[in-house]
Amino acid sequence: MISIFDIAIKDLMQLLRDFKTFMFLLLMPILFTLLFGYAFGGFGGGEGGDARLPVGFLNEDERWVSEALHDLLTDSEIIRLRENSSLSASALDLMVAEGELAAALIIPSGYGKEILSDKNARLIVIADTNTSAWKTIEAELLSITSRLDGAARTATIMDKYAGERIPFKYGFDQTLEAWQEPPISIVETTSSAVKETDDGIASLAHTSPGMMLQFAIAGLLTAASVIVTERKSRTLQRLLTTSVKRIHILLGHYLATFILIFTQFTTLILFGHFFLKINYLRVPEATFLVAFCSALCIAAIGLLIGVIAKDEEQAVSFSLIPMFVLSGLGGAWVPLEFTGETFRAIGHISPIAWAMDGFKNISVRGFGFDSVIIPAVVLTTYATVFFLLSLWRLNATEES
C-alpha cells in the first residue's frame, strides 16, 4: 500500500510543479463561468429589477373570458407573466423544475365556456407546493380567479333581471372595473424564493457545474501525460519489473488524479456558493457526494487515456475529444431540459449528464439527498468500468 501513496505523491508533485496547471484547473473554469453567465443573463438583474414572481403562462382557450383573466394576471403586483407561444406544457414543467419559473399557469380549452355556464372552471397550475413562493402565488391566483368568477355571476344576474338594459358583457366589464379599487389590496410582497428563482442565478447554476466538469476533463491532458512520460522514459517498464503490482501502479496514478480533480471541484463549489450565490451547500453532503463520484469517474477516464496514449500528441487528442464530446453531449453547454426527448436520452450516455443532474438537483431544483443517489451510482459505475479497462489495457500492452 505504501507504493500506491508514493506514486500518488510523486505524481502530485510533478503535476503541481507547473503553475500553468493551477491556472488551467481553477482560473479557467471561473473565467468561463463568469463569461457564459454574463452572456446568458447571469448578471443582468432580471427583468429590469422586477421583483414579482415569474410565472409561465399558456392559454389554450380562445374565449374572451380567458383574455380577461390574462389581463388581470398581467396587472398583478404579485406575479409577472412569462409568455412564449412556442413553449409547451412540458417545457413549462421543466422550467419550473429548473427554478427558472416560480410556477406555471395553463388555461385549458373550455375554461371560458365553463365560466359562462356558471360551472366550476379549473386552471392547470405547475408549482412546487413546498415553497413559500407557491403560497404567495396561490393566494394571488385565488384572488384573481374569484374576482373573475364573481364578475361572471354578477353579470349573469344583471342580464337575467335587467335584460337588454344591462347586457352580460357590459355587466361583466363594469364589475371587473369596480375591482380596480377593492376594499382590501396587496400593495407589496416579498418572498424568500424570489432570489432562488431569479433567471440570473438559474443561468449561473447551469454554467458553473458545466464549466467545472468540462475543464476537469480538459485537465486530464496533464494527468495522462505523466503516464505517457513514464512510458517514454521507461520508468513504467522498470516499475513493472519490481515487486510492485500493476494494479498498485494504476491505483497510485489514479489516486493522484482523483485528489487533483476533487480539490478542483471543492474549490469551485465553494467559490460558486459564496461568490456567485449558487445554492450548492443547501444540502452539502449531497453536493460533495456528486463531486466525489464525478472525480472518481473523470480520474478513471484520465487513467485510461494515459494507458492508451503512446505519445504526447495522442494524449492531447484523447483528452480534447472527450472534453468536447462528453461535455456537449452531456449538457454542459446547453441544458438537456431544452432539447428533445431523443437527444436527452442520448445525452445521458455521457457521465457529464449524470453529474449535471446531481449538481442541479440540489442547487436549482431544490431536491433532497435522495435525488443524487442514482447519479452517484451511475458515475461510480462508469468509474469502475474505465478503471478496469485501464487495468486490462495495461496488462495487454505490457505482455505483448
350: Cα separation from own chain's centroid: 16
* 189 and 207 fall within a common domain: no
* 184 and 234 fall within a common domain: no
Angle at 356 between CA 84 and CA 387, to 5 degrees: 155
CATH number at residue 153: 3.40.1710
According to DSSP, the residues that pair with 54 across neighbouring strands are 80
* 163 and 17 fall within a common domain: no
* 149 and 241 fall within a common domain: no
Enter the C-alpha cell of residue 264: 478542483
* 16 and 147 fall within a common domain: no
- What digits encode the pLDDT tens for the residues 47-78? 545 668 889 999 888 777 788 888 888 888 88
For helices 246-274 and 220-232, the axis angle rounded to 10 degrees is: 160
Angle at 113 between CA 110 and CA 118, to 5 degrees: 125
- CA-closest candidate to residue 43, choices 52, 31, 34: 34
Q: Is there a domain that residue 287 lies in?
A: yes
How far apart are the C-alpha atoms of 56 and 11, rounded to whole Å?
Answer: 52
Asked if 291 contacts 265 with a C-beta cutoff of 8 angstroms, the reply is yes
Pick the most confident of 23-37, 61-75, 99-113, 168-182.
99-113
Which of 163, 193, 223 is the C-terminal boundary of a domain? 193
* 155 and 271 fall within a common domain: no
Asked if 319 contacts 223 with a C-beta cutoff of 8 angstroms, the reply is no
Which of 140, 171, 193 is the C-terminal boundary of a domain? 193
pLDDT at residue number 295: 95
Asked if 329 contacts 353 with a C-beta cutoff of 8 angstroms, the reply is yes
Q: Is there a domain that residue 237 lies in?
A: yes
* 108 and 142 fall within a common domain: yes
pLDDT at residue number 370: 94
DSSP 3-state assignment of 54?
strand
How far apart are the C-alpha atoms of 323 and 302, rounded to whole Å?
Answer: 11
Q: How many domains does the chain have?
A: 2
Asked if 124 contacts 48 with a C-beta cutoff of 8 angstroms, the reply is no
Q: Is there a domain that residue 250 lies in?
A: yes
Largest distance between two CA atoms of the chain = 105
- What digits encode the pLDDT tens for the residues 115-125? 777 667 788 99
* 250 and 263 fall within a common domain: yes
Q: Is there a domain that residue 47 lies in?
A: no
Under the banding of pLDDT at 50, 70 and 90, the label for residue 373 is: very high
How far apart are the C-alpha atoms of 288 and 332, rounded to whole Å?
Answer: 18
Pick the most confident of 13-27, 186-200, 291-305.
291-305
Q: Taking residues 308-332, what's their average pLDDT?
A: 85
According to DSSP, the residues that pair with 105 across neighbouring strands are 57, 125
| Pairing verdict, β 103-107 and 79-83 | unpaired
Asked if 362 contacts 279 with a C-beta cutoff of 8 angstroms, the reply is yes
- CA-closest candidate to residue 220, choices 392, 400, 378, 351: 351
Q: Is there a domain that residue 324 lies in?
A: yes
Q: Is there a domain that residue 330 lies in?
A: yes
- What digits encode the pLDDT tens for the residues 207-256? 889 989 988 887 777 677 777 777 777 776 676 667 678 888 889 989 99
Enclosing domain of residue 143: 53-193
* 239 and 253 fall within a common domain: yes
Enter the C-alpha cell of residue 265: 471541484
Enter the C-alpha cell of residue 92: 413549462
In the chain, count of helices (H) and strands (E)?
Answer: 18, 4
* 38 and 24 fall within a common domain: yes
How far apart are the C-alpha atoms of 361 and 380, rounded to whole Å?
Answer: 18
- What digits encode the pLDDT tens for the residues 219-233? 777 677 777 777 777
* 32 and 66 fall within a common domain: no
Q: Is there a domain that residue 48 lies in?
A: no
Which of 176, 193, 210 is the C-terminal boundary of a domain? 193
Q: Is there a domain that residue 58 lies in?
A: yes
How far apart are the C-alpha atoms of 322 and 190, rounded to whole Å?
Answer: 45
pTM over 0.75: no
Helix, strand, coil share of the chain (percent; to 5): 70, 5, 25
* Strand residues in the chain grouped as ranges (E): 53-59, 79-83, 103-107, 124-127
Least confident segment among 19-33, 264-278, 323-337, 342-356: 19-33
* 187 and 153 fall within a common domain: yes
According to DSSP, the residues that pair with 126 across neighbouring strands are 104
Q: In 10 A of CB 50, how many CB atoms?
A: 11
How far apart are the C-alpha atoms of 147 and 145, rounded to whole Å?
Answer: 5
Under the banding of pLDDT at 50, 70 and 90, the label for residue 197 is: very low
